Amino acid sequence: MATQIIVLPGESILIDQNRRLDWADKGNSFPALPDTIHCVLWNDLPGQNEIQFKDPATGNMTGNTDLNATSDAVGSTTIAALLTWADTRIEQIRVACGAYNTAVDNGTASDGESWKDYDPNYS
């Protein structure tokens, strides 16, 4: 199970410090986050686990909220739900990559296709 996640809405998601997803690759089941969130940090690196907030109109930082447990809220979801989502999404991508590779091996993949074309969960 994923134990660490850094979410930069609109940019990327880092899972367990070794798996980076572009924002576009988050899939269609990513929990909705308010547009006031600049960053969600939940990891075991030095520093505070926190939600960093911004003013969506200006992009200026407006403050932070410490996170102390996986049950802590991040908008209408929790850290635990984000970690569960991360595990699910990694598996969905693994399956889509396998299907794409099989199509390539069988010669049934079209030019310009990628694993994303084989992922029904892609957003």
**Count of all residues that appear for the chain in the document:** 123
- Residue 57 Cα distances to 7, 28, 74, angstroms: 20, 25, 20
* Cα→Cα distances 12→65, 67, 106, Å: 20, 20, 32
Rounded to a whole number of angstroms, the CA Rg of the chain reads 16
pTM equals 0.93
Amino acid at 108: T
Residues 15-65: tens digit of each pLDDT: 999 999 999 999 999 999 999 999 999 998 888 899 999 999 999 999 999
Domain boundaries, the chain: 5-112
Whole-angstrom Cα distance, residue 42 to residue 69?
Answer: 9
